[in-house]
Structure 1
Amino acid sequence: MPHVGESVVEGTIGKWLKQPGDRVERFDPLVEVVTDKVTMEVPSPVAGQLLRIIATEGETVPMGAAIAEVETDERATPAPAVQAAAASPTAPPAPVPPPPPATPATSTTPMSYLITNAQPPAAGPATVPVPAPVSETIADEERLAITPVRRMIAEAMVRSASQIPHAWSMVEVDINELVALRNRERHAFRQREGINLTYLPFALKAVAGALKDNPTLNASWGDDHIVLKRRINLGIAVAAPTGLVVPVIHDADRLSIAGLAHAIDDLAGRARSGALRLEDVQGGTFTVNNTGALGSSISGPIINHPQAGILTTEAVQQRPVVINDAIAIRWMMNLCLSFDHRINDGEESGAFLQSVKRRLEAVDGDTPIY
């Protein structure tokens, strides 16, 4: 099992892409591996014949453990960065399988190459083969099999909910002028750029600016210290076929609204098609989830561990509001924030929400898209 960083200690075999007896070329996709960071296609580090599968589909094994045996005449060389299909935004650097011990020059017979570390892996918990998940119907119940991705998502949610003391807050935002700007620009933007202009890039622009004003929301807990992140890397939650994916827009504060729209379209499209790269899910510092696209008006999101907060943008709706002692119909949107109460209190989280609110309500016909 290739190492993918210090924070990942084990992985689950999702699917073998080759079977015993198959010929494999170096860098051919060999196996899908699921971790709490990313679903990877692991390439073969050598060319040869797959002799034996050691770790079966559904089995969870520690990093560095042998998962297969390949017979080859060649010496292993580093494989390229793996492709990522799903992840959380703090994934570590791409794995590079190390070479095996050198074969003596006088040897005239192939060596079997184990896909593992050159040195024996450190002792860890014994691995027990796990049968592939199977759905079953019992009496008047149906039990759905838990896929490796679903299990990883569940474990990540439990870790966040159990390790981070969540607190929650919500504000209403009057986005009447934003709606008018977007309606005015959307058709021309589609013709120029080839993508839709949604409300999300406006929200991300406001969040990025608010994080600059409130840096303790762009942070993480370090037990005896708080880590303030210098870069603003926004994770965007995407519902992919295999489960929730959180690709990252790096340095989001440096992008225009049009630039953010392109980044969203690119990452969401590749997340849904399983074409994310490992670097696409690394380094997130704060997460935004557009739950309004699902029709939600209020939600209580779980923080993406180990970040300090997560914001949801809710459904854009017309509501009656009081303006200057008169009732008016305005386009409104709720912003919901879950935050780590170890790092921030109501004062800091409230200031952050008010900053996002002010920035969105300040959008008007003169706001630049580019």
Structure 2
Amino acid sequence: GGDQAKTSAPASQAAVAAPTPPPPPTPPAAAAPQPQATQQTASGQQGASTTSSQPPSSTAVTAQAEEAAARQTSSTPAAATSVAAAAPPPQIGAGGNGREQTVEELRRTRSSPLVRNIAREHGIDISRLEGTGASGRVTKNDILSFIESGAMMSPQEAMKAGQTAQDASAQASPQASPAVMHAAGEDRVEQMSVMRRKIADHMVMSRRTSAHVTTVYEIDMTRIAKLRDEHRSSFQERTGTKLTFMPFIFQAVTIAIRKFPIFNAQVSGEQIIYKRDINLGMAVALDWGLIVPVIKRADDLSISGLARAANDLADRARNKQLKPDEVAGGTFTVTNPGVFGGLFGTPIINQPQVAILGVGAIEKRPKVMATPEGDDFIAIRSMAFFALSFDHRIIDGSDAEKFLAYVKQLLEAGQFTV
């Protein structure tokens, strides 16, 4: 303890400990640069009696050491300081503000030259990083992961970088077009119609916009089929229009939408707009393309009202008699590929909507059923596959399953008023 005190004491402390005559010369100001000199001098004064009682040889050694300290810029204070002196110059931000580095910071900053070069190029304070190397040292993977995470950016820079990347992606996507194909000798070339070009652009845009996911359910339509057969003739006489399966499906969908309003929503930037009215789009295939007329406020209509509206819109669509507002404002679309015999498809969402329901062919198939006592038997049932495509940006898979399961429950129960 005495030796450590002698070694670390500045020249001012040696002057107090030396014998009376002759007094040593006043040391230069550079000999006591540390802010702790006042505290060390006070402690030296408290131990003056102990130091003065040492043999003259010990005092001479002390005086010689202090003279050497005066000639040098500073003495070596402690083991930790010697480590810091041997360490390479601090990197950008390491041990900044003129303070001494902690042992933990020293471990982090004592990284490989490659890591230090990367830190210097990117202006990174290595002491901020949590190293995974030996003794907590920062490795190449640590600093590269830190850079890639964007944590080194300010919030404004991160937002700007994200927006720039998004804009660049948006600009690059529309420019990516299929290679131009050249017709061979006897190939027939036909220019796309205006409708076909619009359909093509709209479908590609939808795939780029929405995160498409499709779920498929098999639904027993036997009770609906029986209900339809029972009322088909009377319905035709009363309403002047035919009764198909679609009005029942439309009504089941509107009831389910009221329970799960996210399916009647739209995405606007970072906001979700929940539409008040349920406007059902119904895809109609034409000889020259596809069109989606809209049944406005479909949830206010009865089975007969839905049937009249659907048949009227379909007829006028095929005769090119639809008005512009009759093909706008849809909030949910139902398409029926089953009319051509398809079991099911994976329909593309009709933007800016967030879901579309595809109805497959309704046909009789064998189905395993059970009696109330639990005995299994095989029955012939009218079955159909329903495929729901939804936008996974705002609709979770669980919600999609619940929605379609509820539609299944309503249709299989067959509790509709015709």
**Shared fold by TM > 0.5?**
yes
Query: 1:139 Cα deviation (Å)?
Result: 2.1
Give the alignment partner of residue 214 of structure 2, picking from 155, 165, 168: 168
Tell me the amino acid that sits aligned with residue 283 of structure 1: G
1:197 aligns with 2:243: yes
Q: How far apart, CA to CA, are the structure 1 residues paired with 2:286 and 2:275?
A: 28
SS in 1 for 2:266: strand
TM superposition score normalised by structure 1: 0.61
With CA pairs under 8 Å and 6+ residues apart, which has the higher RCO, 1 or 2?
1
Give the alignment partner of residue 333 of structure 1, picking from 362, 379, 384: 384
Query: 1:306 Cα deviation (Å)?
Result: 1.0
Tell me the amino acid that sits aligned with residue 144 of structure 1: E
Give the alignment partner of residue 300 of structure 1, picking from 346, 350, 355: 346
Task: Give per-residue Cα distances to partners, 1:307-351, cap 9 Å, x unaligned.
Answer: 010001111011111111211111111110100000111101011
1:281 aligns with 2:327: yes
Q: How far apart, CA to CA, are the structure 2 residues paired with 1:201 and 1:343?
A: 28
Instruction: Please say which of residues 238-247 and 304-313 is displaced more in the overlay.
Output: 238-247
SS in 2 for 1:141: coil
Give the alignment partner of residue 350 of structure 1, picking from 393, 401, 406: 401
Map of 2:336 onto structure 1:
290
Map of 1:222 onto structure 2:
268
Q: How far apart, CA to CA, are the structure 2 residues paired with 1:299 and 1:183?
A: 27
Map of 1:13 onto structure 2:
none
Query: 1:181 Cα deviation (Å)?
Result: 0.8
Give the alignment partner of residue 194 of structure 2, picking from 144, 148, 156: 148
Q: How far apart, CA to CA, are the structure 1 residues paired with 2:215 and 2:232?
A: 31
SS in 1 for 2:351: coil
1:316 aligns with 2:365: no
Q: Which has the higher strand share?
A: 1
Instruction: Please say which of residues 140-149 and 225-234 is displaced more in the overlay.
Output: 140-149
SS in 2 for 1:368: coil
Q: How far apart, CA to CA, are the structure 2 residues paired with 1:291 and 1:257?
A: 21
Tell me the amino acid that sits aligned with residue 230 of structure 1: R
1:257 aligns with 2:303: yes
1:362 aligns with 2:408: no
Map of 2:89 onto structure 1:
none
Q: How far apart, CA to CA, are the structure 2 residues paired with 1:345 and 1:207?
A: 18
SS in 2 for 1:293: helix
Query: 1:242 Cα deviation (Å)?
Result: 3.2
Q: How far apart, CA to CA, are the structure 2 residues paired with 1:184 and 1:242?
A: 36
Percentage of identical aligned residues: 44
Tell me the amino acid that sits aligned with residue 358 of structure 1: Q
Give the alignment partner of residue 313 of structure 2, picking from 253, 267, 280: 267
Query: 1:140 Cα deviation (Å)?
Result: 3.6
1:177 aligns with 2:259: no
SS in 1 for 2:233: helix
Q: Which has the higher helix share?
A: 2
Query: 1:255 Cα deviation (Å)?
Result: 0.4
Runs of 5+ consecutive residues of structure 2 not aligned to the other structure? 1-181, 371-375
Structural RMSD (CA): 1.4
Query: 1:240 Cα deviation (Å)?
Result: 2.4
Query: 1:137 Cα deviation (Å)?
Result: 7.6
Q: How far apart, CA to CA, are the structure 1 residues paired with 2:229 and 2:278?
A: 29
Task: Give per-residue Cα distances to partners, 1:206-254, cap 9 Å, x unaligned.
Answer: 0000000111111111221111111100000011233111110011011
Q: How far apart, CA to CA, are the structure 1 residues paired with 2:413 and 2:287?
A: 37
Task: Give per-residue Cα distances to partners, 1:157-213, cap 9 Å, x unaligned.
Answer: 010011111001010111111101111111221222222100001000000000001
Tell me the amino acid that sits aligned with residue 306 of structure 1: P
Give the alignment partner of residue 244 of structure 1, picking from 284, 290, 296: 290
Q: Equivalences for 1:123-134 in 2 at 5 Å?
A: none
Q: Larger Rg: 1 or 2?
A: 2
Tell me the amino acid that sits aligned with residue 262 of structure 2: T
Q: Equivalences for 1:77-96 in 2 at 5 Å?
A: none
Q: How far apart, CA to CA, are the structure 1 residues paired with 2:224 and 2:296?
A: 25
Query: 1:138 Cα deviation (Å)?
Result: 4.3
Q: How far apart, CA to CA, are the structure 1 residues paired with 2:377 and 2:287?
A: 47
SS in 2 for 1:275: coil
SS in 2 for 1:192: helix
SS in 2 for 1:143: coil
Tell me the amino acid that sits aligned with residue 335 of structure 1: F
